[in-house]
Amino acid sequence: MAKKNVAVLGAGMMGTGIAQLFASKGHKVMLIYVYDDKVRAKPLETMRGNLQVLVDQGVINQSQVEETINNVSFTEDLKEAAEFADVIFECIVENLAVKQDYFKTLDELCPPSTILASNTSAISITEIAEKSVHKDRIIGTHYWNPAYLIPLVEVIRTKYVSEETEKAMFELLEGAGKKPVLVKKDVPGFLANRLQHALFREAISIVENDIADPKDVDDAIKYGFGMRLGVMAPMEVIDNAGTDLTLSIHKYLFPHIENSTEPSKMLVEKVEKGDLGFKTGKGFQEWTEEEIAASRKNLTEGLIKVAKALDRL
């Protein structure tokens, strides 16, 4: 497939990661600064840092760093980006009105063939498209952080999107080495966040009810079924074990697990007290600056090792 010109609206962490991804695959990429991205986010420095980690881990060589960087340009002019791009990925503030206005403007500026995609993790893609005219070319593409490492991209249908847009997006993502999955209904949380936060709800409930400490909850996942999830995930596990066995377990277990439709009181109290996790050095556990830095480093390096082992990088 011919390489597309890719523009990314918003040069924060996610926008920079998406730009890096496509630039590393040979696409010409234009990062569009919004607000104070240029000063606050420092996308070029961030990209170089990300790429150097990949060099250090033996994933790419030093010459590929410059090849990737040379594929990236920067602008603050939406008209310039609209004239350049075959596809635009939006990665800005999680505010419906702001997103609607940007998409309306881009819809007016871009040729009808340009695909417009939102990376929102929470807001309805259908609602984001409401102020635009060419709603058929607007689609959801929810990447996972770090976008240049985690293969998954959730592709979210709206009630307006065309099959041509959906097909073209799948081809683009697969060509860039991503693993797109189709979310057939534009529902809150899409697909993976619904699964993730169902797990978070039970994890917090276990701590809140003094069944286990936070570290033991994490270790039970890291050293238990979490290791299996990258190879055999829930629907396959169920079929492997047997739907009859799963039904028996659910009949016994479901009355005892968390089913609240409200956030945990313990979580609310922590936020009210200012225990915000890494941001403040204390959340469900206490964290020193050194431990925070080590955790983040371990995440990046660990993801690279897992991706290498599973041939997903």
Quick one: pLDDT at residue 285?
A: 98
Measured CA to CA in angstroms, residue 39 lies from 68, 228, 254 at distances of 21, 41, 50
Distance CA 38, CA 243 (A): 53
Q: Is residue 1 part of a domain?
A: no
Task: Provide the number of structural domains found in the chain.
Answer: 2
Considering the candidates 50, 71, 134, 154, report the single residue annotated as catalytic.
154
Supply the CATH number for residue 266's domain: 1.10.1040.10
Same domain flag for 148 and 245: no
Same domain flag for 126 and 81: yes
Same domain flag for 172 and 292: no
- Tell me which of 183, 201, 235 is where a domain ends: 183
24 pLDDT more than 80: yes
Quick one: pLDDT at residue 313?
A: 86
Distance CA 117, CA 100 (A): 12
Same domain flag for 212 and 297: yes
User: Domain range holding 177?
Assistant: 6-183
Q: Is residue 32 part of a domain?
A: yes
Same domain flag for 167 and 34: yes
Matching residue, tokens 């979580």: 267
Contact of 166 with 155, CB cutoff 8 Å: yes
Distance CA 215, CA 223 (A): 12
- Summarised one tens digit per residue, pLDDT across range 26-40 is 999 999 999 888 778
Measured CA to CA in angstroms, residue 52 lies from 46, 49, 65, 77 at distances of 10, 5, 7, 29
Q: Is residue 259 part of a domain?
A: yes
Quick one: pLDDT at residue 39?
A: 76
Is 142 an annotated catalytic residue?
yes
Same domain flag for 114 and 169: yes
pLDDT bin (cut points 50, 70, 90) of residue 41 is confident
2 pLDDT more than 90: no
Considering the candidates 73, 162, 193, 205, report the single residue annotated as catalytic.
193
10 pLDDT more than 90: yes
204 pLDDT more than 80: yes
Same domain flag for 196 and 277: yes
Q: Is 205 exposed, middle or buried (0-12, 13-18, 19+ CB in 10 A)?
A: middle
Residues 6+ apart with CB under 8 A from 47: 16, 19, 20, 68, 69, 72
> What percentage of the chain has pLDDT greater than the value 90?
96
Considering the candidates 5, 73, 121, 162, report the single residue annotated as catalytic.
121
- Tell me which of 183, 207, 228 is where a domain ends: 183
Q: Is 265 exposed, middle or buried (0-12, 13-18, 19+ CB in 10 A)?
A: exposed
CB atoms closer than 10 angstroms to residue 26: 12
Supply the CATH number for residue 65's domain: 3.40.50.720
Same domain flag for 209 and 161: no
Quick one: pLDDT at residue 81?
A: 98
Is 193 an annotated catalytic residue?
yes
CA angle 227, 229, 235 (to 5 degrees): 150
pLDDT bin (cut points 50, 70, 90) of residue 13 is very high
Q: What average pLDDT is seen over the chain?
A: 97
Quick one: pLDDT at residue 38?
A: 75
63 pLDDT more than 80: yes
- Summarised one tens digit per residue, pLDDT across range 224-264 is 999 999 999 999 999 999 999 999 999 999 999 999 999 99
Same domain flag for 136 and 271: no
- Give buried/exposed letters for 107-144 (b at 16+ CB in 10 A, else e): bebbeeebbbbbbbbebbbbebbebbebbbbbbbbbbb
- Tell me which of 183, 207, 230 is where a domain ends: 183
Helix (H, G, I), strand (E, B) or coil at 262: coil
215 Rama class: left (phi>0) / alpha (psi -120 to 50) / beta = alpha
Same domain flag for 250 and 198: yes
Q: Is residue 281 part of a domain?
A: yes
Same domain flag for 162 and 221: no
- Summarised one tens digit per residue, pLDDT across range 154-200 is 999 999 999 999 999 999 999 999 999 999 999 999 999 999 999 99
Same domain flag for 176 and 228: no
